[in-house]
Structures are given as C-alpha cells and as structure tokens.
Structure 1
Amino acid sequence: MAASPPPPSGTQPAPSDEGTRSSTTWLWGAAFMVLAVLMLSGRNSSSDPAYPPRTTQAGASASSAAHPVGKHLPRSRPKRLLIPKISVDAPFTDLALGSSGHLQPPAADDVNLVGWYAEGASPGEAGTAIIAGHVDTATSAAVFVDLSELEKGDKFYVARADGRKASFVVDDVETFEKDDFPDRRVYADTPQAQVRLITCAGDYDRDVKDYTENLVVFAHLI
C-alpha cells in the first residue's frame, strides 16, 4: 500500500507460491500535520521498516475546514464503506498513532475491514480523508482486491455515525511506483471534501516482502 514502518507483531509464514500475494499493512506517521504513509506486507515479522517513510504536508481534520469550498458535511465518524461496483460493504476501524509515531494498521487477519486516519478529515468533511484497506492476506483476497476495477464516474458511499450517507464520485484511479509516489498530490489537504482509497498493487517482491506499487482512488463528495 505505500512505503513502510513497523508491521504488526508476530511471525507469519512466507508465501507458498508465486500466485499467493502477501497481506498488506497500512501505516502512517505524523508529526505536526506531517503524514508519512507507509505500507508493508503483513507477513513480514520484522519490526523495522523495509523502506524509509515518505513525508508530505497534509492537514488534519478541523484545521482544513477554516474556509471550506464546495459541498461538505460536518465532522462525523465513518461507520461503513459501501462500493457497490466491487461488492464492498466493510466496517471502519480507526488508525491511530503508535509509540513510534506511525499509524497502526488495520487488523491483518480481518479481510473485510478498512482503516481511517482518525486524526485527519472524516469522509464528507472538508479536507482529504484517507481510507486504507488490504488487497489480500496470506490465505485469501481482502476488501480492496478489486479496487483497480473502479473508473472515473463510479460512485461509492460512506455511512456515518450521524446517520448520513456521504456519496462520492471517482475522479481518477492511478497506480504509482513506490519509489515515485506523489505524496503531496495524494495526501495534501484540500478545502473540498475529498477521499483517497489506497491499497497495494503491482508485483509482490519476495526479497523485501512488499508490493512494488500503490493504487490510489481519488474521489470527491457529491
């Protein structure tokens, strides 16, 4: 999914064949509004990052709403992500900072779970909301395995704690090499209510236990 700090604790087996991709883990680091977005294979039991984090200036939640532009909703916790085209109906978990300064990943053993950077904008709020999901696990496909099938104009929804359903339309779907990831474009804060859906893509590199690319869905509130 993006670059990489500490994966979840515990040892997991290596892939058994070339067709089996490792589970992915989303991690972000932050220091005074600076996000480092990182991604590791869930099977990497090392506590050290495979690659150094990339950083970019990205505003967190409330500060982005000083002068909102366009359609937006008040802040509210997301409850479920609904993407009809690829049959996604998944609950959210908060992604919070750990002692290392990186965001903790969603549970690697739950194939139908998405993570939300809870200190950033909530989906529908003015700002850039970040939503991460695994593409697969050691044993099966996961929530974002078909994310690449989304196209410009497709819609998805976020059911929120305030009872509203925020509707989003896809603006673009792009894949980036990890060593050429456009941090500012993906994570920089915006005055509009936008969302980024992010997961792993490309080939699985057995040497570093990580995928070679990141898939990013850019979307805005409608």
Structure 2
Amino acid sequence: MSGEATYASVLSQTSGDRLVLLRGFYDPQPGDAVIGYVSDVKFSGYNVEIFQPYHAFQSSKELRFEYSLGEVIIAKIKEVSETRSVDLEYPKQLKDGRMLNVEPFKVPRIVGRKNSMINSLKDLTGAEIYVGANGVVWFSGKNSSLVIKAINMIREEAHTTGLTERVVKFLQAETGIENYTPRVDEEPAGGSYSRSPGDAGSGSGEGRRYGSRDRYEHRERGGDRPRDRGGDRRSYKPRGQGYRR
C-alpha cells in the first residue's frame, strides 16, 4: 500500500548456538544435488521436473546413454541463469524406488551434522536413500514404510534438539537392532548437498558414479539387513566396506 513499508521475514527459532529455520524456500545453487523425473524428451536433452518453480534441463551432450520419459534421476546443478533456469550435469538414474517430498529447508535435518542422521537412516533400515536439496527424498528397500515414518518424525521435530538420538532409538525399537552409534563422516560436505563427482566413468543406463562423500552416493552393502519388528534382537555391526571411490 502507498506510504507503507513492506517487510519480508523468515520464521526461525534459536536452539542452543544454532538458528533453526521453521519456514523457507529452496534457492538453487551450483553444486546442489537435486532429484526429479524426466518430464519431456527433446533433441538436445531432457526437461526435468524438480518440484520447484524453476525450469531444469539436462543436456544430452556428452551423455553416453539415454533417458526415457518418467525416469527418476539425481543430478548436480551446473549453473542457474538470471531467469532462474537450472542446468544439470552428472545425472544418475534411480530405479525401483519411491519419492517423498519434504520441505527443502528441513533437508539439513534429514542429512544431519556430518551426515549423522542420513547414515543412521541407511544403517538401521537397510534402505538405499538419496536426499535432494530441492526437498525430494528417494528411497528403495524392504523397509520403505519405516523410512517414511522416520522422515516424517524428523519433519515434525526438526526444530528440536536431540533429534538424532530420538530417531535412532525409534528405529532400534522398530528393527530390534541394539548397540548402534550414529556413523559420521569426518569431512562434512559443507553448505550444499553434494560434492564434486569422482573419477569413475558412466555406464549405459547407470549414469556417472559419484565420489565417496557425495550426499547422494549410497553405501554398497553386504551381509544381512535389519530384521522387521518381532524378529530376534541382535547387535548392530557395520556391513560391507562403506563408501567407495
């Protein structure tokens, strides 16, 4: 209105020495990992729906494989234009999973400090999980319903302290896993949700394999997965060799 000032604010809450956002929106940045699906196939590449008010495009230049309409991919943001168009790079196809949309500003809580929360979700559910900075979580595995419950718990309690500990206890009660300590990455990924890709090449239909500490690189697992609730109780033991380059 004429003569009146207009103010914009972000709702937040102080928790100890941290400022926790309670509302917000996604501002795409180069280097972010985003998850979406191929919404249109063009001669020069692919339009990708990333569930945000931005046009995302993956060029087919230098790609050694093709994508089909509707296929889910995770990719890095290469650049963002002045008109907020997003160019993607290093796509990887995600097969046989489910997508869950969350508030983008709660993604850091789902990932956790030094990846502690996302590592706990993977370890205690046995699921393959990727988290996009655009607020899309993709997961695959037998414990899909448990993954959804845990993520919704994180969303509802994102503003509280001690959340990782409570989520771990919840998952332990559901799976029967004991003596688990959240696994952390010694070198945090910083402000964005991805790091530079590794040197491994692309395979047909597989996309490029990413580096050892990418937010969206899943662990290669070996051995048994957690049992469903009601099974024998057992102690947690790390499976496989963890992340690999």
Question: Could you tell me the TM-score, scaled by structure 1's length?
Answer: 0.29
Please state which structure has a larger fraction of its residues in helix: 2
Please state which structure has a larger fraction of its residues in strand: 1
Give the greater-gyration-radius structure (CA).
2
Question: Could you tell me the TM-score, scaled by structure 2's length?
Answer: 0.27
Structure with the larger RCO, 1 or 2 (CA within 8 Å, 6+ apart):
1
